[in-house]
Amino acid sequence: MASSEQPRTQWLGRWGFMLAATGSAVGLGNIWKFPYITGEFGGGAFVLVYLACIFAVGVPVMMTEIAFGRRGQGSPVDAIRRVVNASGRSSAWSLIGWMAMLCGFMILSFYVVVAGWSFSYLWKMLAGGLSGSSVDDMAAVFGANNANPLNLGFWSTLVTLLTMLIVGKGVQEGIEKSVSWMMPGLVIMLVILIGFGMFSGGFGAAVSFLFSFNAGSLSSEGLLAALGHAFFTLSLASGAILTYGSYLPKGASIGRTTVSVAVADTVVALMAGLAIFPVIFANGMNPGEGPGLIFMSLPLAFQAMPLGTLFGILFFLMLSMAALTSSISMVEATISWLCDNKGISRPAASWGTGIVLWLISTLAMLSFNLGAEWTLGGKNFFDWLDYLTSRWMMPLGGLGTVVLAGFVLKSDTFREELGLAPLPYALWLTMVRYVSPLGIVVIFVDALGVYQVSFAGHWPWLLAILVAMAALGETLSPRLRQALRTT
Ligand code: PHE
């Protein structure tokens, strides 16, 4: 335990953790993915379910991760091992930490490719905009951008380099400093873009699309997408939040900070929707366009509007910064683990990790051109990274974390670390023991393809199962805990 002899680095400013964690949470997930999945799953009803997932599953899991990080003072592997050992449980639980670390690294390997799209579009906009007058033209631009591995590789390499440069400078000098100007900058740009949207003529349509609740459009697929996205957008089960939490000063309130991060993340996602959809509707386009929404429909819409190129520049600059403040958090767990356990300097750890990352992300990048045919089970390398992390590793890691906190650790461990009053503590415990695990199991059942029925009409059943599980769990829990303890 070399690292515990020296006190661990802490965030310097009062806002250090808030900004860094919000920077991690706010990313391509909010600005690229959230609007297009909302478009695909029908708007308001999806938004409502998504909010429920953020607050019923996301917040309790995030609190647990931060508590693990701060209690264990280390990377996910070390922190979890220390906390479980202090409760007299097996070090094998630190496998959850290994998986989280790997998961963060794998996400980053494909995230730099999507972030590279954003940087390349920023460049295109700076160079005067895109030429094209239909979605097909824009699809051709997007296709050409992907088809050349040297071009695409250049942009993903640039993102990798910038990420490693920031992380290599350290927690305070690199991460904290960069988020302290990028995050406010991002919010300012988003507000300007919403202002642009207000005058575009499609604002009313966008508001009613995002906020009118139409229960008929709720599908089980939408529910599952909402749950999966809640994990991704809050950066859970990937080592990011846990490691950032390990730099959190003792006095800070975990509950309050977590709720602030979750609210900020949600507000930014909705703001991104309010910036994008007005422009889409004003130009009579389809909101359910899918992953191409902001790379095809949006640039086309900008093309058609006065000052569109200027706002296009602003949009892709904002997106690129949002991506960077997330990418640095994905690799921090690995860097922290290397520095604490292998006695290497931070810059050396960053560049070493950067080289491995570059190799793997290059393979992911090739999925869009040379390697498009290198598939296994119908998925290329990029798809596999996405599928394994979001469908399996994140839910599994989240499940492990809440089971560990809810049933395995000594009950006073997190009561102390979270420092909550009895009522909020009981609420957290109920969430962590029953609500979050149930939600996560639903994702699994779907991933296995077992459950084919629509959830939409089955809310009462789900609720009844939840209550029954809680009652059963509470009766059995002393025994259940006993059983898990002996593992
Ligand atoms: N939350 C980030 C986003 O919404 C993605 C992310 C996932 C960041 C995992 C860190 C860890 O884009």
**Residue 318 half-sphere exposure toward CB, CA atoms < 13 A:** 28
Which residues face 379 on adjacent strands?
376
Give dist(CA 9, CA 11) in Å, integer: 7
Cα-Cα-Cα-Cα dihedral sign, residues 252, 256, 261, 264: negative
Cα-to-centroid distance, 152 and ligand 1 (Å): 21
CATH number at residue 359: 1.20.1740
Per-residue model confidence as pLDDT tens digits over 176-214: 999 999 999 999 999 999 988 888 888 999 998 888 776
What is the atom index within ligand 1 of the atom nearest the CA of 322?
Answer: 12
Residue 113 belongs to a domain: yes
Top mutation candidate among 102, 233, 321, 390 for ligand 1, by most atoms within 8 Å of CB? 233
Residue 199 belongs to a domain: yes
Token digits of residue 191: 């507000």
Cα-to-centroid distance, 245 and ligand 1 (Å): 15
Top mutation candidate among 163, 179, 326 for ligand 1, by most atoms within 8 Å of CB? 326
Give dist(CA 237, CA 389) in Å, integer: 10
pLDDT band at 4 (very low <50, low <70, confident <90, very high): very low
Residues contacting 29, CB < 8 A, separation 6+: 229, 232, 233, 269, 326
In the chain, the number of structural domains is 1
Query: What number is the average pLDDT over the span 135-142?
Result: 85
Give how far Cα 475 sits from Cα of 421, 429, 433, Å: 24, 15, 13
pLDDT for residue 306: 80
Residue 155 belongs to a domain: yes
Percent of the chain with pLDDT over 90: 57
Q: Is 353 in the pocket of ligand 1 (CB under 6 A)?
A: no
Q: Give the position of tokens 């590793």.
A: 393
Residue 385 belongs to a domain: yes
Per-residue model confidence as pLDDT tens digits over 47-56: 888 998 999 8
Mean pLDDT of the chain: 88
Top mutation candidate among 106, 112, 229, 232 for ligand 1, by most atoms within 8 Å of CB? 232
Percent of the chain with pLDDT over 70: 90
Q: Is 394 in the pocket of ligand 1 (CB under 6 A)?
A: no
Residue 336 belongs to a domain: yes
Identify the residue whose C-alpha is closest to ligand 1 atom 9: 235
Query: What number is the average pLDDT over the span 64-68?
Result: 97
Per-residue model confidence as pLDDT tens digits over 343-363: 999 999 999 999 999 999 999
Top mutation candidate among 235, 236, 241, 327 for ligand 1, by most atoms within 8 Å of CB? 235
Q: Which residue has the higher pLDDT, 487 or 260?
A: 260
Q: Is 23 in the pocket of ligand 1 (CB under 6 A)?
A: no
What DSSP letter does each residue of 376-420 carry, written as one string? BTTB-HHHHHHHIIIIIIHHHHHHHHHHIIIIIS-HHHHHHHHT-
Q: Can you give the pTM of this predicted structure?
A: 0.90
Cα-to-centroid distance, 360 and ligand 1 (Å): 18
Nearest one of 201, 205, 200 to 311, comparing CA atoms: 200
Identify the residue whose C-alpha is closest to ligand 1 atom 10: 235
pLDDT band at 216 (very low <50, low <70, confident <90, very high): low
Per-residue model confidence as pLDDT tens digits over 408-444: 998 889 988 999 988 889 889 989 998 899 888 877 7
Q: Is 287 in the pocket of ligand 1 (CB under 6 A)?
A: no
Instruction: Output phi, psi for 285, to 5 deg.
Output: -100, 170
Residue 5 belongs to a domain: no
pLDDT band at 480 (very low <50, low <70, confident <90, very high): low
What is the atom index within ligand 1 of the atom nearest the CA of 103?
Answer: 9
Residue 179 CB neighbours (<10 A): 26
Cα-to-centroid distance, 265 and ligand 1 (Å): 11
Q: How many angstroms from the chain centroid is the CA of residue 198?
A: 28
Q: Is 330 in the pocket of ligand 1 (CB under 6 A)?
A: yes
Q: Is 27 in the pocket of ligand 1 (CB under 6 A)?
A: yes
pLDDT band at 139 (very low <50, low <70, confident <90, very high): confident
Per-residue model confidence as pLDDT tens digits over 246-287: 999 999 999 999 999 999 999 999 999 998 899 888 888 888
Contact between 439 and 228 (Cβ < 8 Å): no
Query: What number is the average pLDDT over the span 457-473?
Result: 68
478 pLDDT above the threshold of 70: no
Cα-to-centroid distance, 25 and ligand 1 (Å): 5
Q: Is 389 in the pocket of ligand 1 (CB under 6 A)?
A: no
Q: How many angstroms from the chain centroid is the CA of residue 259?
A: 15
As a three-state string, the secondary structure of 254-280 is HHHHHHHHHHHHHHHHHHHHHHHHHHH
Query: What number is the average pLDDT over the span 214-238?
Result: 83
60 pLDDT above the threshold of 60: yes
Q: How many angstroms from the chain centroid is the CA of residue 119?
A: 19
> Between helices 149-168 and 308-342, what is the axis angle to 10°?
60
Domain that holds residue 157: 14-485
473-478: long-range contacts, CB 8 A cutoff, minimum separation 24: 473/433, 473/434, 477/407, 477/433
Which residues face 372 on adjacent strands?
none
Give dist(CA 177, CA 174) in Å, integer: 6
Q: Which residue has the higher pLDDT, 197 or 221?
A: 197
pLDDT for residue 377: 86
115 pLDDT above the threshold of 90: yes
Residue 8 belongs to a domain: no
Q: Is 28 in the pocket of ligand 1 (CB under 6 A)?
A: yes
Cα-to-centroid distance, 27 and ligand 1 (Å): 6
Q: Give the position of tokens 């639980």.
A: 93
Longest dimension (CA), the chain: 68
Residue 1 belongs to a domain: no
Per-residue model confidence as pLDDT tens digits over 358-402: 999 999 999 998 888 898 888 899 999 998 998 889 999 999 999
Give dist(CA 192, CA 197) in Å, integer: 9
pLDDT band at 476 (very low <50, low <70, confident <90, very high): low
pLDDT for residue 449: 64
Q: Is 34 in the pocket of ligand 1 (CB under 6 A)?
A: no
pLDDT for residue 217: 62
Identify the residue whose C-alpha is closest to ligand 1 atom 6: 235
Contact between 24 and 179 (Cβ < 8 Å): no
Q: Is 334 in the pocket of ligand 1 (CB under 6 A)?
A: no
Residue 319 amino acid letter: L
Find the radius of gyration of the CA atoms of the chain: 22
Nearest one of 252, 248, 273, 230 to 25, comparing CA atoms: 230
Q: Is 24 in the pocket of ligand 1 (CB under 6 A)?
A: yes
